[in-house]
Amino acid sequence: MQRPDQSPALARVMRGELCAGCGACAAIAPGKVSMAVAEPGYLRPVQSAPLDPAEETAIRNACPGLGVKVAAEGRENPVLWGPHISMQTGWAADEGLRFAGSSGGALSAVLVHLLAADVVDAVVQTTASPVLAIGNSSVVSTDAAAITAAAGSRYAPSSPLADLTTRLASGRRHAFVGKPCDAAALRAMAAADPKVAASFPVILSFFCAGVPSHAGGQAVLEALGVQPSEVARFRYRGMGWPGRATATLKDGTERSMSYHDSWGKILSRHVQLRCKICPDGVGMTADIVCADAWESDAQGYPRFAEAPGISLIVARTPLGAQILAAATAAGHLHIAPFDIATLAGIQPGQRLRKRSTLARLLALRLAGRPVPDYQGMQLKAAARQNPLSTNLRNFLGMLRRLPRKGQLRIDPPS
């Protein structure tokens, strides 16, 4: 039952299990809302004092659990991939950065360029937690060494917006890197508050299949046969393409498993509910979005064991396109052409989820569950790309898994 002083916006998010864990609510109401780990290891808001009406409105406006808005504004806007100016592939010119990155290190190369060209003073990004090897921390990087150290995807919860108040108080200009839901929340906050817009002139993101809980990372450690207390460092990817999930133990030895085994067989089974109904895993509100640009099998896994990394690089805004051109001209980034017609084959997870979102949302609605208000996502057009039988299967699949004892369980996207 909702407490009398509980934020109606946050109560709605919690009732629908719609939280993505971005931390925007904690940034909007510091001292009243904070982020904490909740079972089975997701980051969720904890409210400790009543919110005033302005805070309530700001959360309603920004929270990606309540909704996400995007507008094409004259850009190319394909149904599955959203508004963009250009789509290319590329990689970091610095070989060490290319190797450290999750894909081709392109995202990190852009960050290095933004600092070198004095476009921003600092980068807000996500790196390994100093206290939980499988967990994440937000970090402010101000040089190439720190950006290289934070390169690589971390398939664990992150709340990169939670400390926004401190970042704003610093008076610095930041580039922000976050999941698409983080980017959408920040974009909404920047539209509502010029101080946020001035402090975060550049927003970067990556394609996102979903965030697994800490239970996912722990299951990877178990499968590697190591205790959490033995682990000094853990990386999910990077150091090669796709790179192996690797635990470095306190005795200096390493245990690792392939991306196919770690993400495909373990982590993808621990993804939070909000991600199963996410039509914006492609980061439609960011300036630049990066992803894997590999030749893949029908499940979206690379057809090779290891290769020099290549990132898909999407410029979504004129600013993003300008930054990519400048980063290339300055020698930080190598760029190659890309045929968008191949993208649905490379990213089957994104393709299937976008086409299935409408059917899943309808099932939740029918069951009286709150759902996010998605605007500009072309959900009907995406659903029409599915045979009716597939939409029906997704609709019935969602209904079948509706809550017992308040828990909604859904299988990972196939």
> Interface with ligand FAD by CB under 6 A: which residues?
101-108, 125-127, 136, 150-156, 158, 160, 177-179, 206-209, 211, 237-238, 281, 290-292, 309, 311, 347, 349-350
273 binds, among ligand FAD, ligand SF4, none (CB under 5 to 8 A by kind): none
User: Rule CB under 6 A: is residue 160 a binding residue for ligand SF4?
Assistant: no
User: Rule CB under 6 A: is residue 20 a binding residue for ligand SF4?
Assistant: yes
Q: How far apart are CA 202 and CA 14, in angstroms?
A: 30
Measured from the CB atom, is 209 or 315 closer to ligand FAD?
A: 209
User: Rule CB under 6 A: is residue 383 a binding residue for ligand SF4?
Assistant: no
Burial 203-227 (b: 16+ CB within 10 A, else e): bbbbbbbbbbbbbbbbbbbeebebe
Residue 38 buriedness (CB in 10 A; 0-12 / 13-18 / 19+): middle
356 binds, among ligand FAD, ligand SF4, none (CB under 5 to 8 A by kind): none
Interaction with ligand SF4 in 250-279: which residues (CB under 6 A)? 274-275, 278
Stated as kind and residue range, the H or E segment containing 157 is none
278 binds, among ligand FAD, ligand SF4, none (CB under 5 to 8 A by kind): ligand SF4
Minimum distance of ligand FAD from residue 217's CB (angstroms): 11
Q: How far apart are CA 141 and CA 172, in angstroms?
A: 12
Identity of the residue numbered 100: A
Stated as kind and residue range, the H or E segment containing 262 is none
User: Rule CB under 6 A: is residue 16 a binding residue for ligand SF4?
Assistant: no
Q: Are strands 254-257 and 288-292 parallel, antiparallel or unpaired?
A: unpaired
Measured from the CB atom, is 24 or 109 closer to ligand SF4?
A: 24
- The β-bridge partners of 137 are 127
Number of Cβ atoms within 10 Å of the Cβ of 406: 7
- The β-bridge partners of 289 are 205, 314
Considering CB under 6 A, how many residues would be counted as binding ligand SF4?
Answer: 25
User: Rule CB under 6 A: is residue 45 a binding residue for ligand SF4?
Assistant: yes
Contacts of residue 371, Cβ cutoff 8 Å, sequence gap at least 6: 16, 18, 277, 361, 364, 365
**Which alpha helices (H) appear in 121-272, and where do they start and end?**
144-149, 164-169, 180-192, 194-199, 214-224, 259, 265
Measured from the CB atom, is 193 or 230 closer to ligand SF4?
A: 193
Measured from the CB atom, is 63 or 313 closer to ligand SF4?
A: 63
Q: How far apart are CA 58 and CA 60, in angstroms?
A: 5
Measured from the CB atom, is 214 or 360 closer to ligand FAD?
A: 214
Minimum distance of ligand FAD from residue 211's CB (angstroms): 5
Minimum distance of ligand FAD from residue 254's CB (angstroms): 20
103 binds, among ligand SF4, ligand FAD, none (CB under 5 to 8 A by kind): ligand FAD
**162-201 mask for ligand SF4 (x: CB under 6 A)?**
-----------------xxx---x----------------
Among 281, 292, 278, 251, CA closest to 371: 278
Minimum distance of ligand SF4 from residue 213's CB (angstroms): 12
Q: How far apart are CA 201 and CA 317, in angstroms?
A: 12
**DSSP secondary structure string, 230-255?**
GEEEEESS-SSBS--EEEEETTS-EE
Measured from the CB atom, is 58 or 363 closer to ligand SF4?
A: 58
Minimum distance of ligand SF4 from residue 328's CB (angstroms): 27
Measured from the CB atom, is 178 or 376 closer to ligand FAD?
A: 178
Q: How far apart are CA 140 and CA 212, in angstroms?
A: 23
Q: How far apart are CA 177 and CA 114, in angstroms?
A: 12
Contacts of residue 165, Cβ cutoff 8 Å, sequence gap at least 6: 27, 30
383 binds, among ligand FAD, ligand SF4, none (CB under 5 to 8 A by kind): none
Q: Which stretch binds ligand SF4 (CB under 6 A): 22-30, 228-236, 245-253, 384-392?
A: 22-30
Measured from the CB atom, is 20 or 144 closer to ligand SF4?
A: 20
Minimum distance of ligand SF4 from residue 370's CB (angstroms): 12
Measured from the CB atom, is 10 or 119 closer to ligand SF4?
A: 10
Q: Where are the beta strands (DSSP E) in 243-342?
A: 245-249, 254-257, 288-292, 311-315, 333-337
> Which residues lie near ligand SF4 (CB under 6 A)?
10, 13, 19-25, 45, 63-65, 179-181, 185, 208, 210-211, 274-275, 278, 280-281
